[in-house]
Structure 1
Amino acid sequence: MTDDLLLTFRSPPLPFFVESNRLTYKPGEEHPNRSNIGVFDLLFVHKGALSIAEEDCRWILEPGDVLILRPDRWHYSFQPCTEETTFDWVHFQTVGAWEETPANQPGTLRGDYYTYAIRVPKKMKLTYPEEAAQVLSQLHDAAQSSSHGAFWDRQQRFLHLLQMLDEGWRSDAAKAAVSVAERAAAYLKMNYRLPITNAMLSETLELHTNYITRCMSEVFGCTPQQYLLYYRLDQAKLLLIKTDWTIAKVAEDTGFRQTPHFSRLFAAHTGMPPLKFRKRFTAH
């Protein structure tokens, strides 16, 4: 189903705004026929109906609908408008990695400890179209200005729009395993200093432990407890490099109850004990 496609952008770098405008088509007018335009084309319909296709996929966009067309495909209208139709278009691009996948599959791009995977549906109906319309109006105004401040204004408003689409998709936990996995990962990263059990994670997400584990295994290739361990060890590496804390204090601050246990796990993970790791990266 074309309505179940998901676009994923790994950030940083963040996708960036190029240009935008609001158009009104009268009955009989239609979207231009274009191919490989080199930018993503986001469409949002205010009123009427817009018939648009990408290669062999076709959609009729109605008020509140958002569609993102790829930069490397053929876009065209398969029939003229039958009524007055007003819509916004936004061109944007990214220099980072991106992919289009079925929403029920994890894909290859994932957020990790330091990066974020922006996930937006190829097509979706917005829950709060009025808010999106306001953001788009402000974006168009900023796009018309050539002042130095307008650059920051339009990029920030565009990222706000992307955030709305990303969070709108993630608000439904049943959408895909990746949504559940990333909610679990966010909780683990926020509370990694605390003793976290699978039962606590299950209660927080209001999902069965086995389901959470299956989702994290599919998306991150590890269980929740393994993910927690890897994250704690990564935080420990940073503290060993940035601070002169004792090994015991580093262990305690990263959620390990016993220093010997921490040292054994750290050595198994990095190939060297904590003190040797510190000396390797801090010696002059």
Structure 2
Amino acid sequence: GMTAEAHEGEIALFDCRKPHCYWCPDKVDFYWFHFNGAGSKQYTEYLTERFGLVHEKQPMLSLKDQFRTVVHSAQYGMSTQFASMNEHQISIAVHSILGGLASQTVRTTVTSELLAPALAYIHGHFADDISLDDLAGMCGISKSHFIRSFKRYVGCTPHEYLLQYRLRQSKRLLLSSDLTVEQIAEDCGFNSASHFARAFRQETDISPTAFRAISF
């Protein structure tokens, strides 16, 4: 029951397991791919419910380059013996696209002006202990004002944002490095491997080890 129109530089995202159709009224070139894997259903439902079917291109996302990575890696992987390596590259690119789309709310002017210092600090120091008092101080506002503003403009609490950012970094390391789960937990700011495993399983329904073994 939903309809949408996508223009140049935009991305349309929908659950292809549900009845659907799409068409172009004029000649057009575009990139497309189908994807599946851990968290894909939840990502799609979240993004569709929150932002609709069509999403604007974000400069930080390099959307066209990310799509090229997915398409070209898939084509290369199908024609060579290095398919498993390319599946990991594809997974990283897909996660980058979806993660960027999920962060759309941080693009507002109010957010960039008010919360940018805190967001930048989280991105650069996610492995460290980070306190609400320190983040609020960086933004020059009280802790209660900071929490309310963060929830309003980012769409989640500071703690939830930090946890999700740490988990995204952990997924990247699981797929792109040979680090142990224990080392990844430490590098991503979790106080123990068991804490990391619990948070990861709660987010994805599988363990970090199982996630690493999946062929995306």
Q: What TM-score, normalized by structure 1, do the two folds share?
A: 0.39
Question: Which is higher, the Rg of structure 1 or of structure 2?
Answer: 1
Higher fraction of strand: 1
Q: What TM-score, normalized by structure 2, do the two folds share?
A: 0.49
